[in-house]
Structure 1
Amino acid sequence: MTNRPMQEIIVRRTPVTLPPDATVQQACQRMRDSRIGAVLVTDAAGRLLGIFTGRDAICRMLAEGRDPARTRLGEVMTPRPECLGPRARAIEALRLMRDCGFRHVPVVDGERLLGIVSRGDFQGTEQARLEEESHLWERL
């Protein structure tokens, strides 16, 4: 099933979004309450501006001693994150995450935000295909 398109994977989930002036504390509370690892940062029109992840909370907040109640998402988000379109395939998302070293990829159609996928959204067969591909490249 490595050919599943992103639109099939994100169909049952509304992405958690916050504006860039929301605080990091608000973002972390939403992530905790929703049991997710990332929030998407959007403007008033719903266009994707950035992404804030648990890794950002550690590297850009805790490690730097910043106050999460006073720090705005726009200051510490990853701006203009790598994205995929709704027709991209599961294996493309997995490759992108592996190659770029992240666990979440927003899905957009032009400027319209559709959702987000994370490594955990993919089935065992999709993960196995990526591992198989990686092993083939290592042998070459």
Structure 2
Amino acid sequence: MTTAKDIMHEGAQWIPKTETLLNAAQRMRDLHVGALPVSDENERLCGIITDRDIVVKCVAEGHDASRCTAADLVQGTPRWVDANASVEEVVEEMGNHHVRRLPVIENKRLVGMISEADVARNLPENQVHAFASRVYATPPQT
């Protein structure tokens, strides 16, 4: 069975919720990533911020990225997957919650990230379309 740990990118890094969005953007640039998991003071996942979040919810709104923090952007229940979860479980989690990136947790610690491209590379060709359709579908309004 192929697991989340088998398909993830290792070396993912937290950003504390107290970190400024300017520092978060610089870290994304340095790591060549478009998203960072956000941790609370106990190094527990409390959300994810993306480069798009910084642009749309901070910069485009006229806020100062050197004063806004990651905590200002995180909302809702963060989604994650256990390192031993099957690819099918990863697909289910991403599809059900319309997320494109998923932190991988092992023993309560961040060990990697999975993107939709990682999943697509590990699905049979006939399942890639169904997966993409679920992830990119418009989520129901609540």
- Which residue of structure 1 lines up, in the alignment, with residue 4 of structure 2? 6
Matched, 1:71 2:68: yes
Work out the percentage of aligned pairs sharing the same amino acid: 28
Q: How does 1:1-140 map to 2 (within 5 A)?
A: 3-10=1-8, 13-109=10-106, 111-126=108-123, 128=125, 129-131=127-129
1:78/1:127 CA distance change after superposition, 3 Å: farther
Deviates more, 1:83-92 or 1:27-36: 83-92
One-letter code of the match for 2:6? E
* Secondary structure, aligned partner of 2:114: strand
CA contact (8 A) 1:95 1:130 kept: no
RMSD (Å) for aligned C-alpha atoms: 2.6
One-letter code of the match for 1:9? I
Q: TM-score, normalised by structure 2?
A: 0.76
One-letter code of the match for 2:7? I
**Where in structure 2 are there 5+ consecutive unaligned residues?**
134-142
Deviates more, 1:89-98 or 1:48-57: 89-98
* Equivalenced residues, count: 132
**Where in structure 1 are there 5+ consecutive unaligned residues?**
136-140
1:40-67: CA deviation from partner (whole Å, max 9, x where unpaired):
1113432212111123123321332211
Q: TM-score, normalised by structure 1?
A: 0.77
